[in-house]
Structures are given as C-alpha cells and as structure tokens.
Amino acid sequence: MIRPHDPLAAVAAGLDPGPFALVRRAGADHLDLFTGMVRTAERLADIPLPDGGPGPRTLALVPYRQITERGFACVDDGMPLECLVIGEHRQISLADALAALPDAPVVTTDAGFDSSDAEYAATVGRVLAEEIGRGEGANFVIHRTLRATVQGDARAAALAALRRLLLRERGAYWTFVVHTGTRTLVGASPERHVSVDDGLVMMNPISGTFRHTGAAADREALLRFLHDPKEVEELYMVLDEELKMMATVAEHGGQVVGPYLKEMAHLAHTEYLLAGRGSRDVREVLRETMFAPTVTGSPMENACRVIARHERTGRRYYAGVLALLGRDAAGRQTLDAPILIRTAELSPTGELRVPVGATLVRHSTAAGEVAETHAKAAGVLAALGLGPDAPAARPAQSGPDAPGRALADDPEVRAALAARNAPLARFWLDQRTPGATVLPGLAGRRALIVDGEDTFTGMLAHQLGALGLAVARRGWQQPGPVGEYDLVVMGPGPGDPTDLAEPKMATMRALLAELLAAGRPTLAVCLGHQLLAGLLGLPLHRRDAPYQGVPRDVPVFGATRRVGFYSSFTARAGADRVATPYGPVELSRDPADGAVHALRGPGFAGVQFHPESVLSRDGMVILAELLAHLLDHRALAGHAPADRG
C-alpha cells in the first residue's frame, strides 16, 4: 500500500509533495515511484549517474533545445535539462495506484490550438512545396500546441489524468507523471526512443497512423491502411533514419525486427524494432540519437533547420525524451528513454500545453495532417476532460515484447505486415555474421566517406566495412589529405546541386574535380552523384515530383535492380554513352525520361539512389560490383554477395 507521507497523499492533502515520478512501463503490473532531489545539467554528459547497487539512479527530462549540443538549428526557448536524482524507489501495484490516484474530473477553460487548422494546413503546404519539393529532405515533422488553463491544483489534475490514462489508454510504452517542482508532465508515450540493457541497444521507430473513434477498429479499413503506399513509405523512411543512428551507436549497425501493429485507444501505428550491440556511455548514446526522426524528420541536421524556419517557436519538451539511467546487477549502465509525445505539460499556475505533430512526406495532404494532429492529441485530451473517453483499456500491452490483440493476430493483418519486408534489403533484416560478406582482395584497403550532411554515410560505412574495407568518415567542411585512401566516396546530403555558390556544393564539386584529375578511385552517392554528373557536363533538373523515400526497379549496367531514392534532383541524358573531359562514361538511364540512375567511367562511378538504404534490396550487390570496377582488382570479379531479394 502507499504510505501516508508519499507524494500522492501529500497532493491529496494539498501539501507540497516534493519532486517525484510515477511510471508504468509497457507490460508491467505495477508502477515505479521515484522520489529525490532535482538538479539541472548543461549537457547530456553532465547527467548524474551515481555509483551504487543495481537499479535506477536518475530520471532526466531532456528538452528539445538540447539538440544544440550537436550543433543543429533550434528555436532556443531555454528549457532546462532537469534531473531527478533518485533517492528512493518503490514499486506500487496497479490496483493500489488506481485506488490512491484521485478519481475526479479535470476542469479546463480557454482551450485552443496556438495555430488554427487553416494556419497549420498552410504551413503543411509550404513545407511540401518549399522543402520536400526542393530537395531539403524526405520528411519533416511540424508541431502545433493545444493550450488551456486547468482549474484547481495542477498536480492533482495531473494525477487524475494519469488515472484516466491508466484505465483508458492502451499500447503505451510509458504512462507517467513527472513533477519537478517547476513543471509537471503527464502522458502516455507510445514510443521507445532508445534503451540500453546488457550492452544491447534498442530503438523503436513508429510511423503511419490509422485513426479510429475509439470503438472497435474497422478491420477492412485497417487492411486498406496497411497497404496504403503513403503509410508504408512513411514507416520505411523513419526506419532508414533510425538505422543511421544505430550505425553510430551499435558496433555493427542495427538489425531490423518487425513490423508490428501498435494499437492505442484512438489510433493504431505501425512500428519496427532495431537492435544492436554497443559499448558507449549511455549519455553518449542519448546525444548521438538526438532526436527521433519520427518527431523531427530526415536527414536530421537539415530537418532541424526546416523545423526552426517553419515553427518559429520553441518546442519545450515536445520531441525530447524522458531518460531513466541506472545500473544493472553487474554495475553496467542501463538506459530506458521514451519520446516525449502524447504528453501534457502543466505549470504550477495551471497553464496547460499539449503539443502534437504530423509527419509530412511527399504524399501528404494538408487536411490529412491536420486530422492527424487532432487524433494524436485525443488520448491525453480525453484524460484532461477535453475530449470523449475511449473504451476501457484491455489488459494486454503493446509491441513486440507483449501479447498481441485481436487485430494484430488476424492472419490477413499479419500477412500485410510481413509483406512489407519483401522488397527490403536483407543486409539490415538478417542476423549478420562478421566476415561473412568480405570480398577477396579488399582486406587492408581503406576508404574515406565524405559526408554531405546526411548520416546515411554511417550505414554506408557499415556496408563497405562488411565487404572488407577499413572505412573513415569526414564532414564535407573538414579539410584533409585523401592520398592515403584506396577509395573516396562522395556522400549524400540535402540541397540544390545546381547552386554552386553554396559553400557545400562548391567544396564537394572541387574535391570531385581534384579526385578525377588525379585518377583516384571515386564513388559518388546521391548528392555526390549529382555533383559528379554536373562536373561531367550532364544537365541537372529538379524533378516534377520529389523522389523522397521511393523504391523502384531500375536498370543498373545491364541488370534490373531494386533500389531506394531520396532525391528531388536528377541528371538527364539522351544516350547511354557520352564523352567527357575525364574519358568515356557509361550511363544507366530511365527509359521514360532519361534520368541517370548510375554512371561509371575510368576510375569513377556514381549512383543517384542509396545502395545503403533499407529500400535498396540489391544495394550490397551493386556496391560489390562497383568496387570491382573502381579498384580494378580481378579477385573481386564474380564474388558479389548473392542477391537474396
């Protein structure tokens, strides 16, 4: 039972409860009650993680502005990184918690979004036209905030909302209240951002939203949703983006498991699970994964610029994380960090904020994304008395580590989910054995990847490493010698490749010219390919419709290959062979419009698609063939990995 001096009893008596957190994690039959002192930290590296016995040590509230640690753009609202240093931890049964939490209505006034539906729709239209249409990225998340005033004690209102969420919401990864003294957060987040346990790093990209009224979902409508190209590709894109992060924090990158159906009270999502082994400090893992593409976009660095341009207000804690840091029985660091979405923030004076966002992709419509923000807010709003209740939650929990529900167990639903993996790259889906794909002749050879501000280069590094190369990465703005490398890869990135006055474009094109003049083996990917094509004299065009997150079967040097595109520009040509200042070049073109999908010449090659993407089923085969061409090593010929797609 809860003892009288606990925070819940203090709130019920109108007393100051001090800092505390009450958390129910997915699948648990209890809630964790944490109490202690609150400290602020400047950086994630400064989050305290005291030594001692096993268990949780610190619960950190990480605001969105912390993205500035990575040098990314942000409307800086000054929200603090608050850390509850846990002094006492107790477990409370779900029944006892429900009995102790206040069962009272939450009364709010003056509720309304900070931007109208029409204003938000206009922003959606601008992002689609000005950002995705001009090659700035594949998807972006733009948020809006519902504001209201809570009558009475805000802490009691938050606890009452928690009770309703525990009873009415389902499928949450964490259901929680966190009170620091300066603010109270209450929510039911569906999404694990990152966790670390026994060296296993896990991420859980969720995307694609099926909206329903809260009653039993329409099975046929759900099946249509599962086959909707927009919803399928939206999940693929965030999967690619989180694989980029896993490429940094896991030694061999992430393995993809799923997809699964996550059912909640007002909507359902599709999700994947990523897993990989790592040895970094958990605070470094947090820093390298700031923040989830499901709440920002891709590529990440430019997504932050787009968010700052179009939102114009700070995000406070929306899109940040709660991070529970601790140690296991062997003293190893542990981490569990849900994303701060489907969460309300209350001030001591009763000011209420409920931020929500929609993922904008090339298929998006303004009306659809407006509706999505309303659906995502519905669960928290109902708990706060601002919307209709959902049916009482069923006892099962969500996700890959819990029992399924009726819809998730339906054979046609399972088949529709499984079919999503058929066109994907087995490199990321299968358990990888180190050394299994190494090509003869590559051992001891070195490659440098020049990053054009898209961490797809991390995934590319893992693939080239799996083929046998020793790989280094360098940002486009970092000068340095290239003569020590057997291969230089000019990587992908956002932007307009025809704008040669832009520093990135000018610098990368100049390096390409230097490499070609010296005859140094060079591979160019996406943006690198576009700059290479321009250097060779091929005209560049902006596509009428962006190729962002598009899988296609295309000709690549005589074979049909399944590859994934993330581009708004392309080179075009009217012949399969052209003469250039750097020698004759062979082109693989689209038969319809002449778009150049791939090119190769003496000592260089370029591909418009991303061989490293999960969308590129044949990516490893293509890379192996290009390495044989570029490095001119007879031992490589005929040793491409088998095409298992």
**9 vs 413: CA distance, rounded Å:** 45
- Domain 432-636 in CATH: superfamily? Class I glutamine amidotransferase (GATase) domain (3.40.50.880)
Residue range 490-511: average pLDDT? Answer: 95
- Are the CB atoms for 608 and 530 separated by under 8 Å? yes
Q: What is the pLDDT of residues 219-257, one digit of tens each?
A: 899 999 999 988 898 899 889 999 999 999 998 888 999
**118 vs 123: CA distance, rounded Å:** 9
Pairing of strands 487-490, 522-525: parallel
**What does the angle CA 313 – CA 319 – CA 325 come to, to the nearest 5 degrees?**
135
- Per-range mean pLDDT, top range of 42-51, 164-173, 364-373: 42-51
Where b means 16+ CB within 10 Å and e means fewer, 390-406 reads: beebeeebbbeeeebbe
Q: How many CB atoms lie within 10 A of CB 39?
A: 16
Give the SS3 label for residue 403. Answer: coil
Q: Given a cut of 50, is residue 83 above it in pLDDT?
A: yes
What residues contact 159, with CB distance under 8 A and at least 6 apart? 8, 11, 22, 101, 102, 177, 186
- Are the CB atoms for 488 and 520 separated by under 8 Å? yes
Residue range 581-597: average pLDDT? Answer: 95
Q: Given a cut of 90, is residue 213 above it in pLDDT?
A: no
Question: Half-sphere exposure of 92 toward its Cβ, with a 13 Å CA cutoff?
Answer: 24
Any idea where the domains of the chain sit in the sequence? Answer: 7-419, 432-636
Catalytic residues: 526, 610, 612
- Are the CB atoms for 522 and 535 separated by under 8 Å? no
Instruction: Output the pLDDT for position 4.
Output: 41
Q: What is the pLDDT of residues 334-387, one digit of tens each?
A: 999 999 998 999 999 999 999 999 888 877 888 889 988 887 777 677 778 776
Where b means 16+ CB within 10 Å and e means fewer, 151-173 reads: eebbbbbbbbbbbbbbbbbbbbb
* Confidence grade of residue 171 (pLDDT, cut at 50, 70, 90): confident
259 upstream amide cis, omega within 30 of 0: yes
Of 151-160, 370-379, 422-431, 507-516, minimum mean pLDDT range: 370-379
Fold of 7-419: Anthranilate synthase (3.60.120)
Instruction: Output the pLDDT for position 406.
Output: 63
Positive or negative torsion for Cα 545, 549, 553, 556: positive
Nearest Cα residue to 438 out of 469, 471, 468, 470: 468
291 upstream amide cis, omega within 30 of 0: yes
Share of the chain above pLDDT 90, in %: 68
Q: Considering the entire predicted model, what is its pTM?
A: 0.87
* Confidence grade of residue 644 (pLDDT, cut at 50, 70, 90): very low
